[in-house]
Structure 1
Amino acid sequence: MGPLEGIRIVELSTWAVVPCACEIMGDWGADVIKIEHPVGGDPTRGWAGPGWLPASSPLGVGWLADNRSKRSIALDLSKEQGREIAYRLVEKADIFASNLQEPSLQKVHMDYERLKQVNPMIIYAHLTGYGRKGPKCDKPGFDYSAFWASSGIMSLIGEKDGPPAFQRPAMGDHMTTGYFTAGILAALRARDRLGIGQRVDISLMGTGLWIDSWQTQATLLTNEDAKRVSQKEMPNPLFNIYRAKDGRWFIFVMLFPDRFWPSFCRALDIARLEHDPGFETAEKRAENRKELISIIEEVIDTKTSEEWVPIFDKYDLVWGYVHTIKSALEDPQTEANQFVVEVEHPELGNIRVVNSPVFFSETPSSPKEPPPLLGQHTEEILLSVGYDWSQILHLKNEGVII
């Protein structure tokens, strides 16, 4: 039994942040009912990315990633009968979560003012691109535009003199998911303590500024923009990436370089540099970083990754592989910690999915069900809120459900 057993969530959302948050809470035991439009449903069902995913990927990998552990009801909210069904669901729910723009929510009468009349204790959780106020409050915002670009993070990614670099789809979305989920659960706790429902808001842009708060805090204090640093110019050469003879990349993360410098020199067989006046202190290594990085690159390139690993471990260096996605999935840590689990999909059979990353000792949880087919649970959900079969048939004939 997961820690959120007994909690019911109504989700009216698309794309990544809100679906992923509801998926996580579903993994943790909540009963998640996802409302989708009868025509097409969530667009991630058929979206394969702008050429960035492997050519052999089935369509809808984003759907598979973010929509397990929930039930799907296909419902046309533009019709009054559809809204009446939604209100019955909200009446029995603890949480309502959406990323529809405010005008769209008002158009289908699913805005906070309306739903708190239906259920005054509801936790109404809403995502925007840029926040509820300001000139962009009603503008659409996606991971790339609102999180990466508008927060300033994209300006810091990439080589020093190159263009800003793209990240992969939904990464900013999923970082936002964590804070969105935390906010929802905090509001749920406040409801338990104080007996109040409330609205919870988060934005992609605001989360991006928070995620990069070490950089944004520095700019707030100095009024100077943060700048990119090239791999060739890292101030601490013991905090950098290097490529081995077989092409695999390593990252060293030795945040206290003076402590590690002697063992680093012995590991790389460059003991002659340990007391070299140009490198013997962190300040000197920063001053002469281009020369030192070049030396380290040449040395690392003399052995394969398999040859280097036991040496790094012998000298207790802080290092890691710069994995590809495939090699990360093949890392023994992934299987040992159940970072990937298997679910049975009604069309695809047994598929492996990435597990939610939090584990509970006394209330263990895991993915309950695979991502649902469009409207897969419509009838059972309607029966559970008081509709009979004749009413369900009428709703189908009217195009309210499928």
Structure 2
Amino acid sequence: MSSRPLEGVRVLEVAMYGFVPSCGAVLTEWGAEVIKIEHAVSGDPQRGLVQIGRMKVDGSGPNPNIWHGNRGKKSVGLDLANPAGSEVLLELARRSDVFLTSFLPKVRTKLGIDVDDIRAVNPKIVYARGSALGPRGVESTKGGFDMTAFWSRGSSAASLTPPGTEGVMNPPGPAYGDTISGTNLAGGIAAALFRRERTGEPSIVDVSLLGSGVWSMGHGIALSNFVGMPFEGVTPGEHGAPTNPLSGLYKTKDGRYISLVMLQPTRFWADVCRHVDLPELADDPRFATAESIAANTPEGVRLLREAFATRTLAEWTERLGTLSGPWAPVQDSLQVAADPQVRANEYIIDAGGMELVANPVQFDVTAPVPAPAPDFAAQTEEVLLELGYDWDRIIELKSAGAVT
């Protein structure tokens, strides 16, 4: 059974930076052929990103900032403002199943790549748009990034920031909202392809950073709207749940943290006590009922903090292996790469020269097999030859600046 359900699907991607290209990366791991159109001279601006915060990569070699969202694609250098370049694009669109773009409405119109333009040469194509703020409303023509539209406007930043903090919390890593939104868009495209297969009707698929940001906070926004108060971040060091000692963070002897999330504390209290060498508290009436646990949460937190401070994370990891309630070590972005469970499920995979995080969907209990990200315009000639262009015509297109 194939673990690449989109084999045979061709996606024509006219996009840059993180959001929409990450959608294309997911589609490649699902089996699609993704042809990435890059500016004939400068390519995707993401290729020039070599430093994020304190992290800097050697710009002369493989760059995770471009590989993450462009694994497995074919890169074609094309000047869409050049009539000959536009001709090549439309020829590719005629032979594609999906047109995927991040370009703003005015630019799409100017370049002749809006829905009607592409559907004129391929009426059955699925047209997919990734935007900052959605396809409707007075701001639909504006651009944005994950920091603005997803993180800040979608309420994640404010909801995570503790009260009294100057400023707001930043996203935990680069392309955070981009990657989440890109996966959402890939799912929408897959659904549209399924609909076309069933009915013959193509769809226009829209996903925005704002919509994804709001969806990511969907539970919290619905609750806030219902009770009339916003979420506020928990001040570091405070216990997260005021009525449940089994839902919060506990510091270990070596300065690491363990996260407990047991939403039914009466069910798990006795088992936790036995695992942390506090068997005498298993039947303590202060923690016998939901009401008594809620009333005695501060004391329960104090006792558990003292207990967890007696062993290292490695010792607790072995000891808590038989604990029935949900818990996890708090890991940073380097530690997670060594997590045995992450490795067992192949959530980090070799893309042929660089380890990348796999997209989160697996088919038939099989990890995707990614390919490296392409060098700029590396497949231009290959793709043009497949379209039927001969070498004389390819040389003409290069001389005219239409292709790289």
- With structure 1 as the length reference, what TM-score do the two structures score? 0.92
State the alpha-carbon separation in 2 of the partners of residues 397 and 55 from structure 1.
34
- Following superposition, the deviation at residue 41 of structure 1 comes to 0.9
The question of 1:234 aligning with 2:240 is answered: yes
- Of 197, 200, 204 in structure 2, the residue corresponding to residue 199 of structure 1 is 204
Partner of 1:347: none
In structure 1, the gaps of 5 or more residues are: 345-349
- Of 391, 394, 397 in structure 2, the residue corresponding to residue 392 of structure 1 is 394
The question of 1:333 aligning with 2:354 is answered: no
Identity, in percent, stands at 33
State the alpha-carbon separation in 2 of the partners of residues 234 and 85 from structure 1.
57
- In structure 2, relative to structure 1, the CA distance for the partners of 1:184 and 1:391 (3 Å cut) is same
For the residue of structure 1 that corresponds to 2:378, the secondary structure is coil
Question: One-letter code of the match for 1:292?
Answer: G
Partner of 1:166: 170
The question of 1:184 aligning with 2:192 is answered: no
State the alpha-carbon separation in 2 of the partners of residues 137 and 82 from structure 1.
28
Question: One-letter code of the match for 2:89?
Answer: A
Question: One-letter code of the match for 1:18?
Answer: V
Aligned pairs for 1:3-402 (under 5 A) are 3-53=5-55, 60-162=63-165, 163-167=167-171, 168-230=173-235, 231-235=237-241, 236-276=244-284, 278-344=286-352, 350-361=353-364, 366-402=368-404
State the alpha-carbon separation in 2 of the partners of residues 355 and 150 from structure 1.
28
Tell me if the contact between 1:47 and 1:59 (Cα under 8 Å) persists in the aligned partners: no
- Following superposition, the deviation at residue 128 of structure 1 comes to 0.9
State the alpha-carbon separation in 2 of the partners of residues 30 and 314 from structure 1.
42
- In structure 2, relative to structure 1, the CA distance for the partners of 1:158 and 1:368 (3 Å cut) is same
State the alpha-carbon separation in 1 of the partners of residues 286 and 164 from structure 2.
27
- In structure 2, relative to structure 1, the CA distance for the partners of 1:368 and 1:264 (3 Å cut) is closer
For the residue of structure 1 that corresponds to 2:354, the secondary structure is strand
Tell me if the contact between 1:261 and 1:274 (Cα under 8 Å) persists in the aligned partners: yes
**Aligned pairs, number:** 396
- With structure 2 as the length reference, what TM-score do the two structures score? 0.92
State the alpha-carbon separation in 2 of the partners of residues 41 and 399 from structure 1.
14
- In structure 2, relative to structure 1, the CA distance for the partners of 1:399 and 1:17 (3 Å cut) is same
After superposition, the C-alpha distances for 1:40-84 in whole angstroms (9 at most, x for unaligned) are 211111213441536779673221111111100000001111110
State the alpha-carbon separation in 1 of the partners of residues 79 and 335 from structure 2.
43
Question: One-letter code of the match for 2:229?
Answer: E
- In structure 2, relative to structure 1, the CA distance for the partners of 1:134 and 1:49 (3 Å cut) is farther
In structure 2, the gaps of 5 or more residues are: none
Tell me if the contact between 1:116 and 1:122 (Cα under 8 Å) persists in the aligned partners: yes
